[in-house]
Amino acid sequence: MGGIGSGRRFQHRGPHLEEVPQLDVRALKRGGLFDQITSNGSIKWTNPGLPEAALEYAYADSTLCITYAVKALHTASNVVSQRIFIDRTTCNYGGTRTWFLCPSCGARKAILYCASKWFLCRQCYGLNYTCQNEVYADRMIRKARKLRAKLGASMDLQMPISERPHGMYRSTFERLIRQDQANIKNVVGAYSQRLLSKPN
């Protein structure tokens, strides 16, 4: 009991994409990047724990130009320059909030993610798909359990199926065991996808 697929529902509180390089406009603001009308220098990802990579930036006219190297799978590294517009809104209690405008959808965002080549918002990258992951993982768990019910086996997917039901052909049993292993692989796959977008 208590293993994968043993009944716990996913806790969904929105994704936390700590493994994706990101820029948080609030951290940049705290660092004074927007204090001057123009500035330039280098910045780093604002999420800790990633291999450090310096990004060159130039800020002027509410536009942040960043230049960085991306290395996609199977390709040589590629230097990318991207312009990100900066917006400001006034707070109810005075002061202003600074925002990135997502270069793809134009929405005000505090954090942009570099999931492939560009810095875009989470929604534009489809990185908020935890819900769909849940649906998929739940479906895979149900499928696995249905098969196990047929076999009279443990509902704990971590428990191996050892007993062949009375009267079931060995070849049928072996086929269902293989199906069970495939099901478990799918469940584990759905779980690890979820880890990539795990909750805060």
As measured in angstroms, the least distance from the Cβ of 20 to Zn ion is 14
* Minimal distance, residue 35 CB to Zn ion, in Å: 26
To Zn ion, the closest distance from the beta carbon of 41 in angstroms equals 26
Of 39 and 123, which CB lies nearer to Zn ion in the complex structure?
123
Which neighbouring-strand residues pair with 65? 58, 83
Q: Which is nearer to Zn ion, 6 or 128 (CB)?
A: 128
**Closest distance between Zn ion and the C-beta of residue 199, in Å?**
21
* Cα-based distances in Å from 131 to 10, 14, 119, 120, 136: 9, 9, 23, 20, 9
Q: In terms of CB distance, is 104 or 179 closer to Zn ion?
A: 104
- Which residues neighbour 49 within 8 Å (Cβ) at sequence distance 6 or greater? 18
Residue of minimal CB distance from Zn ion?
102
Q: Which residues bind Zn ion (CB under 5 A)?
A: 102, 104-105, 121, 124
Give residue for tokens 């006034």: 90
With residue 24 as reference, give the H or E element that holds it. Answer: strand 22-24
**Would you say 122 and 21 are in contact if contact means Cβ atoms under 8 Å apart?**
no
Strands 198-199 and 38-44: unpaired
By C-beta, is 69 or 107 nearer to Zn ion?
Answer: 107
Which of 1, 7, 39 shows the shortest CA–CA distance to 187? Answer: 7
Q: How far is the CB of 31 from Zn ion (least distance, A)?
A: 23
CA–CA–CA angle 60, 61, 66 (5° rounding): 45
Which is closer to Zn ion, CB of 115 or CB of 187?
115
